Structure 1
Amino acid sequence: MKLSNKITTALFLIFIFGGFVLNAISPSKGFSEEENRYLEQKPKFSFADLKSGEYTSKFEKYVTDQIVFRNFWVGFKSDMESLRGMKENNSVFAGKDGHLLGKFVKPNGELLNTNINSVNSFKDNNKDIPVSLMVVPTATEILQEKLPYGAPTFDQKAIIDYIKDNISSEVNFVDAYNELLVHNKEDIYYKTDHHWTSLGAYYGYVAASKALGFKALDIDDFNREVLSESFYGTTYSKFNNKRIEPDKVEAFYPKQDVEHRLHYVDEQEDHEGLYRKEFLAKKDKYSVFLGGNHSEVEIKNKISQGEKKDKKLLVIKDSYAHSMMPFLANHYKEIDMLDLRYYKKNINEYIKENHIDEVLVLYNADNFTTDTSIKRLSK
């Protein structure tokens, strides 16, 4: 064997076994700031799980998540695929003008119907109060012209129309689609994150006001402040291309006299205002809105005017609702928010015990078609 081949083989073995040793001695990480998600932990062994294949599946995910220098390898993979001309990485498309757009796949029809029927059952159980449903299209649908040519993504509008056609006539359906489409030349979605921007949430609020029955404030009724110009969100974390430009995060403050206070029920914590600016120093800057995900949140507002000033609104939601609250909170004396992924109590009992006047169910289209916790509305 030539000396050069021996050196190459030796370096390869050192790399392989060195990585094995480092993986073995390195402590497991719980959360990835770069990817903004919890990492897989070492699974507990059982012969039953081994036989079923569940143990090996979990162990493979654990090894993948906990490999040393993971952030480097994820970024390296993305760079190599970009050099090869690939426009998709981890179900995220590299679109025009720096937009990273999440792939929307054909929904599971059974789950979709379950979620639609769950909202219908929820309304049947709460006949005396208005219930509205808002299914928000994602950037992949509204900004289709930003997708790379031939990008395989399913028709979101067809799904939203299907939901509208099959939801009970007693449920107020919020038409967020057309309101956002009219403004699709504006910065209504983040380029590096799956959420809508504060501006997009404002237009969503305008659409919701028509179903909820109040007059929305004009955009000029708010003072705007840029909170950050260095936001890298969820789609960036999946795609992991270091050459992508960051987003800015913006706050809207009402010019009218109103005060807001956040109360986290499980944590028994209170905070003044709806923006948690301490999160601007973290990777997940979207958590500046309401402090991120919590099972149960109360927003108490001091307002002196408006059609809903004496009403309590319950919002059953995903995180798209968070950046819309600075707008809705100017109309209701209280807005309660439940995240069904974490809130496990009976929702119908909650409505009675807390004297809720109205309900808004708010999800983005991707989550409404995939979230298995929505079925709890029918219980």
Structure 2
Amino acid sequence: LPMNATSADEAAAIADIQSKSQDLGFINSLDTLASHKDEDLYYATDHHWKSRGAWYAWTDLAAAKGWSAEEAAFDILKAADGFQGTLSAKTGDPFLSDTVEIWVPKNGPEYVMTKDGVKSRTMYDESALDRRDKYQVFTGPNTGEFTLEMDNDSPVRLLVFKDSYANAMLQFLIPQCRSITVVDPRYYDGNLDRLMETGVFSDVLFLYNYRSWVQDHSLKGVLDAKSGEPAANETENS
């Protein structure tokens, strides 16, 4: 932001949302992220958080669920240099760029990601590293629905409603879950009633950045859709 620019009080707004979500299990990571503000939590040229930012939010979720959250359990790998994301044109510095890191579980389960009818043995899209939007290394381009099936004995079958912030956190969820079904309401044209009837879910996670959560109308369309009536979703840019 420009010097002396004012902005809305997101902390107060999040606290208000939390006060209305008492029965749902609300994870507020503001204090955790603020305590690590001197670390690289967000890209300098993109609106997403880095894997490390997602990690600190993950530790709050893990604490709430009683899951292990040990950084030493992951191999932190540099996937790419030279990333210039969606905000790069606004920085005023044509040479500013970011490094993209992935956190791979050292003893994680084998798993299969099914997306747009294609099966893969990894959630990482290596081809994205040759494209401009290198953040797509996390699960590839956005789509309405995809699944991750893990070879483990976890009782957790998770349904995730999300924007693209969630993509960088999925790498931490994989060791904890037997299955993860991911729905991005901006692109979802399926029927949620039918999904809930055919899927066996133990937990539901809504994972968004603040701006998407308060501005996105597509989630309401998906949640309100009735059987046989696919939601009328807006595009990401609307």
In the superposition, the TM-score normalised over structure 1's length comes to: 0.57
Q: Which has the higher contact order (CA 8 A, sep 6+)?
A: 1
| Cα deviation, residue 341, structure 1 | 1.1
What is the Cα deviation at residue 153 of structure 1? 1.6
Distance in 2 between the 1:347 and 1:207 partners? 28
2:38 alignment partner, SS class: coil
Structure 2 counterpart of 1:173, which letter?
F
Does the C-alpha gap of structure 1 residues 172 and 157 become closer, same or farther in structure 2, counting only changes over 3 Å? same
Aligned CA-pair RMSD: 1.5
Distance 1:348 1:205 in 2: 28
Q: Which residue of 2 aligns with 1:236?
A: 88
Alignment partner of 1:247 is 2:91: no
Give 2:169's aligned residue. Answer: 324
Give the equivalent residue in structure 1 for 2:15: 161
Distance between the aligned counterparts of 1:325 and 1:214, measured in 2? Answer: 17
8 A contact 1:188–1:200 mirrored in 2:
yes
Q: CA deviation at 1:344?
A: 2.7
Alignment partner of 1:205 is 2:38: no
Partner SS, residue 174 of structure 1 = coil
Note the 1:275-286 alignment, pairs <5 A.
275-286=124-135
Structure with the higher helix share, 1 or 2: 1
1:314 maps onto 2:159 in alignment: yes
Question: Residues of 1 paired with 2:197 and 2:5: CA distance?
Answer: 47
1:214 aligns with 2:66: yes
How far apart in 1 are the matches of 2:198 and 2:209?
28
Equivalent residue, structure 2, for 1:189: 42
SS state at 2:81 partner: strand
Aligned length: 224
Q: Structure 2: which 5+ residue stretches go unaligned?
A: 226-238
Which of 207, 213, 230 lines up with 1:368 in the alignment?
A: 213
1:76-95 map, 5 Å: 93=1
CA contact (8 A) 2:67 2:176 kept: no
**Distance in 1 between residues matched to 2:174 and 2:217, nearest whole Å:** 28
Q: What is the aligned partner in structure 2 of residue 358 from structure 1? A: 203
Taking only the aligned residue pairs, the percentage that are identical comes to: 31
Q: How far 1:362 sits from its partner (Å)?
A: 0.9
Alpha-carbon distance in 1 for matches of 2:211, 2:131: 26
Displacement of 1:244: 4.2
3-state DSSP class of the match of 1:234?
coil
Q: Report deviation, 1:242.
A: 4.3
The one-character-per-residue Cα deviations of 1:116-147 (angstroms, maximum 9, x if unpaired) are: xxxxxxxxxxxxxxxxxxxxxxxxxxxxxxxx
Within a 5 Å distance, the mapping from 1:337-352 to structure 2 comes to 337-352=182-197
Q: Structure 1 stretches (4+) deviating beyond 6 angstroms? A: none
